[in-house]
């Protein structure tokens, strides 16, 4: 079983500290600066979406150049080998892979007019002239001995790294709590009032 990061939306405050830490740690390694996770907001709730490090890895199966491989603990993406076809992003059932690239506007004083896209256009479908887009996904900060940067900086401990042992322990705790909880098979009469026979 691969390691992965679990997010607890009840603890998440939507501060985006995890995204900033991800960006900085990968930028320092010379990788794309785009964060490998995204904090999503639904109503009043927030929570990060990131790679589940799937055992069967649909993203790796569809990659035409084998840029996505099974590592020791995670599914790894080689940005240098990636051709930017976006097949992995289409195959990911969790939406945890996004395209990233550096635009040529403003780089080394080059300014070029590029077509504008509608803000409603999904980033997966967007393109920019002169930009080599590559896929980015969570790699559990495999280059760091300290583990994922997002987990280290989360101020509310809404993120934590899990492996097979942690998953088994969490399941055992849930089973113990469920077994200890009182179960009532009787329905109170007050809840049945107003129902037709």
Residues in contact with 97: Cβ distance below 8 Å, sequence separation at least 6, in sequence order: 51, 59, 77, 88, 89, 135, 136, 137
Question: Averaged over 38-51, what is the pLDDT?
Answer: 90
What pLDDT is attached to residue 44?
85
Bridge partners of 41, per DSSP, are 46
Closest CA to 114 of 136, 129, 100, 133: 129
Expressed in angstroms, the distance from the first to the final Cα of the chain is 51
Read off the pTM. Answer: 0.72
Contact by Cβ (8 Å): 136, 100: yes
Residue 107 has pLDDT above 70, yes or no: no
pLDDT in tens, 165-192: 777 887 788 888 888 877 666 655 555 5
The domain ranges of the chain are: 4-104+125-182
Number of H helices, E strands in the chain: 5, 8
pLDDT in tens, 120-166: 766 666 666 667 788 999 999 989 888 899 999 999 999 988 877 77
Residue 196 has pLDDT above 60, yes or no: no
Structure tokens at 118: 């509608």
């Amino acid at each position: 079983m691969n390691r992965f990061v679990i997010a607890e939306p009840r603890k998440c405050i939507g501060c985006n500290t995890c995204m900033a830490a991800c960006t900085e740690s990968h930028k320092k390694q010379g990788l794309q600066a785009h964060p490998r996770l995204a904090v999503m907001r639904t109503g009043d709730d927030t929570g990060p979406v990131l790679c589940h490090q799937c055992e069967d890895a649909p993203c790796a199966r569809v990659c035409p150049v084998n840029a996505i491989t099974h590592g020791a603990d995670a599914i790894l993406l080689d940005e240098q080998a990636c051709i930017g076809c976006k097949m992995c992003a289409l195959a990911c059932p969790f939406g945890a892979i996004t395209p990233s690239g550096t635009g040529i506007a403003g780089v080394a004083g080059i300014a070029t007019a590029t077509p504008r896209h509608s803000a409603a256009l999904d980033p997966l479908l967007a393109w920019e002239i002169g930009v080599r887009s590559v896929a980015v996904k969570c790699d559990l900060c495999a280059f760091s001995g300290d583990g994922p940067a997002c987990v280290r900086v989360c101020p509310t401990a809404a993120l934590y790294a899990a492996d097979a042992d942690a998953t088994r322990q969490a399941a055992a705790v849930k089973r113990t709590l469920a077994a200890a909880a009182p179960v009532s098979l009787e329905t109170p009469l007050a809840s049945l009032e107003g129902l037709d026979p």
